[in-house]
Amino acid sequence: MGVRRQAFVDLSALTGNFARSAPSPDRVLIDVRADAYGHGLVAVALALAEAGGAGFLVSRTTDVAALADVGISTAVIHPAGPLASTLVGPGLYGFDGSPARTTLRLVGEVIAVKNVPADRGVSYGYTYRTTKPTTLALVALGFADGIPRVASNRAPVKVGDFTGRVTGRIAMDQFVVDLDGNTATVGDQAVLFGDPEVGEPTLSHWADATGLAPDVIVSGLGSRIERIYS
């Protein structure tokens, strides 16, 4: 069946954020560029259209065609000049620091667990070495999935009840987390960012750790990551 690489998109949170940020939804243009910031263009546009959204801003003619295929005919391509309508974007996805609900939770699968001694180099170039005997978890997400390599040795990851960080360099298909004496089992979830109300790292934590804007991080998420809508 393959490993799980999943982005859980909460459409009710998205439409709720829209209702709060756009009191006159028929007078705004909704920013769904970059595959709706990695959330999935068609699913997001359909949900927001049902919530009263009337216009959608996209980047490419292929995006216009994709939306026309599901009966949304109000998509416009990003113009070179000023927009005629009020643009609603970052607040929908919780990027701008507003009290918006979390809309995307990114999860990888633990595919290996290994006990290692002290002074063991981890991943390419050994930019991280263990300081004591510990347990390492291998997570099936990598830069081929859009996980930024600058997150190496920096960004938080929650495995079970333990929140550690990306350990060593991020590889194409995977990265490592030093569990620091905690345990994990193959098949466990590794949460990169999600809901702070349940103690998960957030997209803001990843932005702080990497120096990248939140919209840059999620817009780069690749097609191997399955989008699951609720």
pLDDT in tens, the chain (230 residues): 579 999 999 999 999 999 887 667 677 889 999 999 999 999 999 999 999 888 899 989 999 999 999 989 888 887 655 566 788 888 899 876 666 688 999 999 999 999 999 999 999 999 999 999 999 999 999 999 999 999 999 999 999 999 999 999 999 999 999 999 899 999 999 999 999 989 999 999 999 999 999 999 999 999 999 999 99
Helix (H, G, I), strand (E, B) or coil at 67: helix
Look up residue 8 and give its two tokens.
């859980």
Residue 145's nearest CA partner among 47, 84, 227, 33 is 227
Residue for token pair 């990497």? 210
Domain ranges of the chain: 11-93, 104-229
Residue whose C-alpha is closest to residue 98's, from 40, 18, 193: 18
CATH number of 104-229: 2.40.37.10
Q: In CATH, which of 1.10.10.10, 3.40.50.1370, 3.20.20.10, 3.30.2010.30 is domain 11-93?
A: 3.20.20.10
Nearest to 218 by CA among 108, 99, 104: 104
Residue type present at position 228: I
Q: What is the pTM of this model?
A: 0.92
Is 104-229 in the same CATH topology as 11-93? no
Could you tell me what percentage of the chain is helix, strand and coil, using 3-state DSSP and rounding each to the nearest 5?
Answer: 30, 30, 45
Torsion angle, alpha carbons of 144, 148, 152, 157, to 10? -90
What whole-number distance in Å separates Cα of residue 131 and Cα of residue 180? 10
